[in-house]
Amino acid sequence: MNLKELARKLDLSPTTVSRALNGYPEVNEATRERVAAAARKYNYQPNTRAIRLATGRAMAVGHVIPVATRHEIVNPVFADFIAGAGEVYSRNGYDLLLSVVPDDDEERAYRELKSRGTVDGVIVHSPRMQDERIPLLHDLGIPFVVHGRATDSARPYPWVDVNNRRAFQRATEFLLDLGHRRIALLNGLEFMDFAIRRRAGYEAALAAHGITPDPAIMAAEEMTETCGHRLGVALLSAPNPPTAFLVSSMIMGLGLRRAIEERGLRMGRDVSVIIHDDELSYLRNGDDVPIFTATRSSVREAGRQAAAMLIGLIRGEAGAPRELLMEAELIIGQSTGPHRG
């Protein structure tokens, strides 16, 4: 059933039917209801392809997912972020278009998205510092929202981010208050913007206590279980090992815990650990009692917020906020305890 057929059944012009269904004012309330009833009866659904061509809008949002050609890692937070964003898109009639692109081909991907008009806007994932995608998207004139931030961007740009700096600063302070002085940092790779900010927070808290950060107990690696384990083993068996760890992801934290327990130590008693918890749905930090003490911020909620912001931008809604800094909670779990001198 298409518009023309429906119009013929109703003995109306396609124009009127279209307007009736789209809520235009210049149509009689009685006819509008007649049209609506018929549309329901015949289960009329306007053809998306036609709407898109006619209106010039794609009614779709793109998420370009760069897949590192070398280590081929898919960011584990994607699934939840997208689940959150997807909710908002479907409520607003937008489709979610996923482009999986080798990371050396991203620029071409964005240009094509623009010139072929497949999407009305995009979400930028995993920003690096001085990310080239931001000026590119500005130039192309595609509405976009960055999940995270890119330090040192020349122009302002819309973003949704967690206050990574504050979170890690608070977490470090918490450990300091427990008496820990030798606090290791297991960070993500530091070309990622969030990793830089977390380190900054960590260093600021140390500095405020007159402690100079020790590069020997600061690592920046891929946030995997095995990396967490390897770093844990190395740091714990070194001379003057840390008594506490600040870890950038739950998965890495699981690896660290493995290293701790292999050495016959107890997490929370012998060694304190704070992780960052993205509240991934398949990796909950405990059901009721948190396993890890954690800085917690829902990445799914970030997805919702970013999607809402992007739709606002696409619709050209003025005055909507263009920046959103989400504060992480500090959740006290069983993985931290006072320093045992």
Partner DNA sequence: ATCACATTTCAAACCGCTTTGGATTGGGAC
Partner DNA sequence: GTCCCAATCCAAAGCGGTTTGAAATGTGAT
Q: Which residues bind a second copy (CB under 8 A)?
A: 43, 45-50, 52-53, 56, 58, 60, 65, 67, 71-76, 78-80, 82-83, 86-87, 89-90, 95-101, 112, 115-118, 223-226, 230, 251, 254, 257-258, 261-262, 280-284, 286-287, 291
Report residue 300 CA to chain centroid gap.
Answer: 7
Nearer of residues 58 and 273 to DNA, judged by Cβ: 58
Question: Of DNA, a second copy, none, which one sits near residue 16, judging by CB under 5 to 8 A according to partner kind?
Answer: DNA
Q: DSSP label at 111?
A: H
* Contacts of residue 282, Cβ cutoff 8 Å, sequence gap at least 6: 79
Dmax of the chain from CA atoms?
A: 88
What's the angle, vertex CA 305, arms to CA 300 and CA 307, rounded to 5? 95
What Å distances lie between residue 19 and 31, 53, 58, 315, 340, CA to CA? 11, 17, 20, 20, 74
Name which of DNA, a second copy, none residue 69 binds, using a CB cut-off of 5 to 8 Å depending on partner kind: none
Task: Estimate the crossing angle of helix 3-10 against helix 29-41, to 10 degrees.
Answer: 120
Residues 6+ apart with CB under 8 A from 8: none
Binding mask 179-218 for DNA (x = CB under 7 A): ----------------------------------------
What part of residues 9-48 is at the interface with DNA (CB under 7 A)?
11-16, 18-19, 21-22, 26-29, 31, 46-47
Angle at 45 between CA 44 and CA 51, to 5 degrees: 135
Closer Cβ to a second copy, 41 or 209, answer by number: 41
Nearer to DNA, 7 or 61 (CB): 7
CB of 16 or CB of 249, closer to DNA: 16
39 contact choice in a second copy, DNA, none (CB below 5 to 8 Å, kind-dependent):
none
Binding mask 56-95 for DNA (x = CB under 7 A): x---------------------------------------
Residues 6+ apart with CB under 8 A from 302: 81, 84, 147, 160, 161, 162, 326
